[in-house]
Amino acid sequence: MKTSDISGFYKLSVDERLQFVKEFSDLTEEEVSILKKNGSLPIEKADKIIENVITTIELPMGIAVNFRINDRDYLIPMAIEEPSVVAAASNAAKVARKKGGFKAFATDPLMIGEIQVLDVPTPYRAKIELLEEKQKIIEMANTRSRTLSSMNAGAKDIEVEIFENPYRMMIVHLIVDVRDAMGANVINSMCEYIAPEIERITGGRVNLRILSNLTRNRIAYASAVFSKDIIGEKAVNTIIDAYHMAAIDIYRAATNNKGIMNGVDAVLMATMNDWRSAEANAHSYAALYGYGPLARYEKDENGDLVGTIEIPIAVGTVGGTTRSIDKARIAMKILGVKDSREFAGVLAAVGLAQNFAALRALATEGIQRGHMELHSRNIAMSVGAVGDEIDRVVARMLEEKDISMTNAKKILDEIRKK
């Protein structure tokens, strides 16, 4: 019988792993040859980045244009498999540009490390004793990063919370300024290092000690004005109504915020930043006081639409795969941000642009029409169209207003019979 219980799989070469997968999954020689094709990321390097590598996979990377943020123009690299995202961001940025573009900024890059302390005999007294020795704890934490200390960054504060139900525990927050890093490694090192001292002071037992991906102190803000003369007064009112729906309806809010993350994640993918962390962060922040939309809309005194976004973003411009993978490094060069705060502001602007574009489509023609027009190319290719056949199949489907696999195959068969 086939089994996935295999010891030492990681010790095999890439080719040996691929051979195992071929036999287990009944892959054809053609399928194996496809898996052996790799782009600009050499398989030898990929094999050092993650475990049990058999191949690499590429996403289309496009460039969103028209972005003007804080009176500076940007090209935005975006890697994503979903059609319409890059085009929508570009179109939204073009509308915002007429009123000066986006304004954006981000707070200091403060992250939180958490230390869970159990079995504390007198937790309320222990809290006071921890706060009394706060400076010593901070100094100890800062020995873990001479780089951050030399930049007047690093550990800045501690917070202590006590929970009584469902069982008693103490949680110590270590607040760390990580500058241009995402911050996970240094925070984890700091938490590990100060854990014994916290045990000594509290008389308790430290269990977990790790960063939190919720960065309530590391927030990016962006705003833009979308002219009623461009989008129409009806669209202004409809978008505001749609925002109000998201503010009270969690089902709409979830979809609303997913649209924001379409843009944010695509930039993070292009630059090889941690988009899973960004997702957890954004949705947790949206749920802090009852889940709601991260972007908001209102009408100014001229009747124009004003969009704003408040989103937590922990992003790095140094370290990790951002610099070690060539295309990610080049994507960062295209983006041209100087530090993590500027990067966070750009991401907030992209998220707002993406959200506005989606709401505008919903408010006017409906989201499906524009999305499916772009998706029609994927449908044409999926049924086997190549070269100029793709454009011909797409044109017919749009003309017949039937964008489907069945119709695409029928049209392709007709084209090939002529």
Question: What digits encode the pLDDT tens for the residues 158-173?
Answer: 999 999 988 899 999 9
Catalytic residue among 22, 45, 47, 82: 82
Task: Give yes or no: residues 143 and 288 share one domain.
Answer: no
Task: Give yes or no: residues 86 and 191 share one domain.
Answer: no
Could you count the other beta carbons within 10 Å of the beta carbon of residue 103?
Answer: 17
Judge whether 173 counts as a catalytic residue. Answer: no
Judge whether 371 counts as a catalytic residue. Answer: yes
Q: What is the Cα–Cα distance from 287 to 411, expressed in whole angstroms?
A: 47
What's the first-to-final CA gap in the chain, in angstroms? Answer: 50
Judge whether 58 counts as a catalytic residue. Answer: no
Judge whether 82 counts as a catalytic residue. Answer: yes
Mean predicted confidence (pLDDT) in 121-145: 97
Q: What separation in angstroms does the CA of 115 have from each of 165, 189, 207, 278?
A: 18, 12, 7, 22
Catalytic residue among 173, 244, 258, 409: 258
| pLDDT single digits (tens) 275-307 | 999 999 999 999 999 999 999 999 999 999 999
The answer to whether position 54 is within a domain reads no
Task: Give yes or no: residues 233 and 358 share one domain.
Answer: yes
Mean predicted confidence (pLDDT) in 4-10: 96
Supply the range of the domain harboring residue 151.
110-211
The answer to whether position 23 is within a domain reads yes
Rounded to 10 degrees, what is the CA torsion of 324, 325, 328, 334?
Answer: 70
**Contacts with 290 (C-beta within 8 Å, 6 or more apart), sequence order:** none
How many domains are there within the chain? 4
Q: Is 290 left (phi over 0), alpha (psi -120 to 50) or beta?
A: left
| CATH code, 317 | 3.90.770.10
**Residue 401: pLDDT band with limits 50, 70, 90:** confident
| pLDDT single digits (tens) 331-344 | 999 999 999 999 99
Q: What separation in angstroms does the CA of 227 have from each of 93, 122, 302, 303?
A: 12, 60, 9, 8
Query: 87-91, 132-136, 193-197, 325-329: which has the minimum mean pLDDT?
Result: 325-329
Catalytic residue among 114, 180, 274, 304: 274
Task: Give yes or no: residues 200 and 268 share one domain.
Answer: no
Catalytic residue among 99, 127, 228, 371: 371
pTM, two decimal places:
0.90
The answer to whether position 3 is within a domain reads no
